[in-house]
Amino acid sequence: MNKLHTTEVNVQVIISLLKAHGIRKVIASPGATNITFVGSIQKDPFFTVYSSVDERSAAYMACGLAEESGEPVVLSCTGATASRNYVPGLTEAYYRKLPVLAVTSTQPISRVGHHIAQVIDRSSLQNDIVKLSVLLPFVKDEDDLWDCEIKVNQAILELKRNGGGPVHINLPTNYTLPFVNKLMPKYRVIDRIQGTDSLPPLLGKIAIFVGSHKKWTSSEVQTVENFCSTNNAVVFCDHTSSYKGKYRLLFSLVAAQELLDKSEYKPDILIHIGEVSGDYSSATIVGEEVWRVSEDGEIRDTFRKLRYVFEMSEEKFFTEYSGGTQRDDSYFEACSTALDKIRQNIPELPFSNIWVASELSGNIPNNSVVHFGILNTLRSWNFFEVPSSVTTASNVGGFGIDGVLSSLVGASLDKSNKLFFCILGDLAFFYDMNILGNRHLGNNLRILIINNGKGTEFKQYNHHAAYFKDEADDFMAAADHFGKKSPTLVKNYAENLGFEYLTASNKEDFKSVYERFISLDVTSKPMLFEIFTDSKEESDALKVIQTIEKDNKSKLKSITKKILGKNGISLAKKILKS
C-alpha cells in the first residue's frame, strides 16, 4: 500500500496544490467518504498526518497546531454530521485569523435532499466560521479541471490573505477504487504576490492586456511607458482600455485574422490589467503564462493560464519592474508592422457597421466621447483607430444591450459643451429608447443606429446560431420586431422629441450626409443618424476583414477543417497517435 493514491482528479488537485504551497500538517477523522483523500496521503512522506476521532476536538487541535507552528493545518472528515462538529473550532479560528483548511468529503451533491443516508447539505454556512467556501466538481473534462484548479488555489491562498483565517473545501467523491502507484500529476499553481513579497523574475517578450479600465492619470501612463521601454513590451488595447500611450496597439485587426499564423506575436508573459474586455480576438494572443495585477487581489483566470496575482496598484507593479536600462522595442515593432500591413490592405467592404466604422473612425471630432454598443458594434470599431484625443467606452461590465443610450446620456450631463456620440444596433436602441424622452437631454448628443431589423450578431457566418440559417431569425436573432426596419418609426419618434434626423441606406446616401453628423460644434438640436443595413452584408463584411492576411500554414488548416470537419479531424488525430 506504500504511496498509493486515488485516481479521483479533484482529490489529486488538492494534494498536488497542498504540496506546491508547502502545506504539510493534516488532522484526519475516520470515515468512508474521505478515504480517497486520507488513503492518498497517509503514507506520503511529505505530509504529517494526525488522527482525531472527534471532529470537534480535531478542529480545536488544528487551532492550536496552526497557532504554535505558524503554518496552515488541514482538517479532513467524512459525511453525515461530521462537519457540523467543526463549527466551534472554525469559529475560534475565524475570530483569531488562524489558517485552518477544512476539507469535508461528501457523496455527490445531487443526492442532497433525497433521504439518502449520511448526506447533508453544506451549501449554507454561518458568516463567521470560514472566509471562503468552495465546492469542487467531479473532473470529467478540461472545463472541470480548470474549475477545480482555480477553486483549490483560491481556497489555499485565502488562508493567509488579509491576515488569514479558516477556509472550507467541500470535496465530492465516488469512492473510486483501486488506488494506483503511478506518479501523481502536478496541477497548476497560482501564487498571490503582495506588497512586501519578493517578486518573481520577468523574462522574455511581455504584453500588457488591458480590459475595460478607468481613466488613466499622466503618471500612470508614464509608468507603463517606462515599463515597456525597459522590458520589450507592448500594450494590447481596445476601445474600452482608455490607454493612449506610446505602446498602445489596437491589435484586434491582427488577432482576428483567421488565416494568419499569429504565434510570433504571442508574448512569453501576458500581464492582465483592467476588468472585462469585449475584445475577444486580442484575448487569443496569449503566451504560456498570465500575471494578473489588481488591487483587489482576486483570482481572475480570464485566459486559463494565470500564474500570479499581484495584489497591488498597477503603478506600483510597473514601477517595481521598470529598473535597468532601456531595451530594444523589437516586439512592439513587429506587432506594429503586422498591424500597419493589414490596415493598408483592407479591401472594399460591403455596406455594414464595419464599413461605417472604417469611414467615420478617423473623423470623429477631437476631444469628443464615443460610447459603443456591445458585440457587433464594439468589434467593428475595434478594427479602427479614433483620434487620440477621443475617449471611448462600452458597457462591457454586465455586457448587456439594455443601457448604452442611458449611459451615454448620463455621461453627457457632465460636460454640456463636449460632443457625445453613441453607435449601437437597432435592438439595443429600442431596448433603451425611453431615455430619449428625458428632460435633461442635451444638444451635445449624436446617436448612430445600425438598423438591420434583427440581432445581426446571431447571423454572422461564424456564430453558433448560423447553423440554423434563416430559422435563426425566428427567436435567436429576434427579427421583424420594431417596425421591420420602418423608414418612419424612428424618424417620427426622434423628430417629435426634438432631434435632427439623418438617414442612409447605402454608401452614396451615407457620404451625402455623414459630414453633418460629425460637425465640430454643438448644434441647436441633438442628432440621430439611422443607417439601414442587411444582415447578410454585415456577415460578409466581417468575413472579409477577418481574412485579409493569409499564410500557407493557416490556409492549409482552414482547408483541412472544411474538408474533414470536426469529427474527421478528431479521427485523423487518433490515427496519427496510434
What tens digit of pLDDT does each residue of 304-341 get? 999 999 999 999 999 999 987 777 899 999 999 999 99
φ, ψ at 376 (rounded to 5°):
-60, -45
Residue-wise pLDDT for 463-517, tens only, equals: 999 899 999 999 999 999 999 999 999 999 999 999 999 999 999 999 999 999 9
| Locus of grid cell 492582465 | 272
For the chain, give every domain's residue range.
9-186, 206-343, 353-544, 552-577
Residues 83/107, Cβ–Cβ less than 8 Å: no
Percent of the chain with pLDDT over 70: 95
Residue-wise pLDDT for 48-74, tens only, equals: 999 999 999 999 999 999 999 999 999
User: Could you tell me which residues come within 8 angstroms of residue 20 by beta carbon, excluding any fewer than 6 positions away?
Assistant: 186, 187, 189
The CATH number fitting domain 353-544, selected from 3.60.15.10, 3.40.50.970, 3.40.50.300, 3.30.420.40: 3.40.50.970
**Quick one: CA dihedral 267, 268, 274, 278, positive or negative?**
positive
The mean pLDDT value for 243-267 works out to: 96
Decide if pLDDT at 578 tops 60: no
User: At 3, is the pLDDT very low, low, confident or very high (cuts 50, 70, 90)?
Assistant: confident
User: At 124, is the pLDDT very low, low, confident or very high (cuts 50, 70, 90)?
Assistant: confident
Q: What are the contacts of 432-441 at 24+ separation with CB within 8 A?
A: 432/401, 432/402, 432/403, 432/404, 432/405, 432/406, 433/405, 433/493, 435/405, 435/406, 435/409, 436/405, 436/493, 436/494, 436/497, 436/499, 437/497, 438/409, 440/409, 440/413, 441/409, 441/497, 441/498, 441/526
The mean pLDDT value for 415-429 works out to: 96
The CATH homologous superfamily of the domain defined by 9-186: Thiamin diphosphate (ThDP)-binding fold, Pyr/PP domains (3.40.50.970)
Cell numbers placing 147: 474549475
The mean pLDDT value for 550-568 works out to: 58
| Locus of grid cell 454585415 | 538
The mean pLDDT value for 166-174 works out to: 97
- Mean pLDDT, the chain, rounded, equals 93
User: Could you tell me which residues come within 8 angstroms of residue 504 by beta carbon, excluding any fewer than 6 positions away?
Assistant: 510, 512, 513, 514, 529, 530, 531, 532
Residues 331/251, Cβ–Cβ less than 8 Å: no
CATH 3.90.550.10 correct for 206-343: no
Name the residue with higher pLDDT: 196 or 212.
212
Give dist(CA 171, CA 325) in Å, integer: 50
Decide if pLDDT at 1 tops 50: no
What pTM was computed for the model?
0.90
Residue-wise pLDDT for 215-251, tens only, equals: 999 999 999 999 999 999 999 999 999 999 999 999 9
**Quick one: CA dihedral 412, 415, 416, 417, positive or negative?**
negative
What pLDDT score was predicted for residue 568? 58
202-221 in b/e burial notation, b at 16+ Cβ within 10 A? beebbbbbbbbbeebeeebb
What pLDDT score was predicted for residue 550? 84
Decide if pLDDT at 533 tops 70: yes
Name the residue with higher pLDDT: 59 or 399.
59
